Amino acid sequence: MKKFGLKVALGLSLAPVMFSSCEKEGAELYEGFYSYKLSGSVTVDKVLIETVDIPDSEPSEPAEPVEATLPLISESGQMNVLKKGADSLIITMNAIGGDVLVIDACVKGNDLEISEFSRIVKVEDGSRTVSLNCTGSGSGKKYDDVIIMDLSYLGDGSSTLYDYTIKSSSVKCVAKVNK
């Protein structure tokens, strides 16, 4: 009976160690293959471009910027999170019918910190689609089998009618692990 009690006590004392060693942390927590959806909006200053030069006329006053919030054209696709080091990752985002984006990230505690990256985003301004050159960064967190990222974009671009400068953004990316 003493041997049985000793085995039970030893088993109970080792159980927390055995189960806690199975939990993922650092880069391993995020590593995997996901399907993602990205959407949001950017707030821009847009300025009318002078398009007509009339000879012998007075120059017109420069147009005042108009603030507008424009929706991003949503994208979805495959996202791969690859372990680069103990706390560093490479995130690849392959949009369906679109671009490929490669981002460096690191894990601090259990939070994801997304390094600065460059990309072109498309927004809708009325019936026009406008491409803007952006610098992005952000953060994320994993909940069960879903990563939720908050991204921030800054940059500019132009269309045939307007010059655009991004003042702020509200962009979310939700990625669910592929099973």
Predicted pLDDT of residue 159: 93
Round to whole Å and give the CA distance between 83 and 56: 64
Q: DSSP strand E in the chain: where? A: 32-48, 66-71, 75-83, 88-95, 100-108, 111-125, 128-143, 146-158, 162-177
Instruction: Look up residue 108 and give its DSSP letter.
Output: E
Predicted pLDDT of residue 20: 40
C-alpha closest to that of 135 among 150, 164, 155: 155
CB 99 within 8 A of CB 78: no
Predicted pLDDT of residue 76: 98
For 2-18, the pLDDT digits (tens) are 555 545 444 545 444 44
Global pTM reads 0.80
Q: Is the pLDDT of residue 86 over 80?
A: yes
Listed by start position, the domains of the chain span: 27-177
Give the HSE-up count for residue 176: Cα atoms under 13 Å, Cβ half-sphere: 3
Tokens 């500019």 locate to: 156
Write phi, then psi, for 101 (nearest 5 degrees). -125, 135
Q: Is the pLDDT of residue 57 over 90?
A: no
As a whole number, mean pLDDT of residues 54-74 equals 81
pLDDT, mean over the chain? 87
As a whole number, mean pLDDT of residues 59-68 equals 81
Predicted pLDDT of residue 24: 73
For 91-143, the pLDDT digits (tens) are 999 999 988 999 999 999 999 999 999 999 999 999 999 999 999 999 999 99
As a whole number, mean pLDDT of residues 70-97 equals 96
Give me 64's structure tokens: 């005042």
Round to whole Å and give the CA distance between 95 and 101: 8
C-alpha closest to that of 146 among 22, 36, 28, 20: 36
Q: Is the pLDDT of residue 53 over 70?
A: no
Which fold does the domain 27-177 belong to in CATH?
Porin (2.40.160)
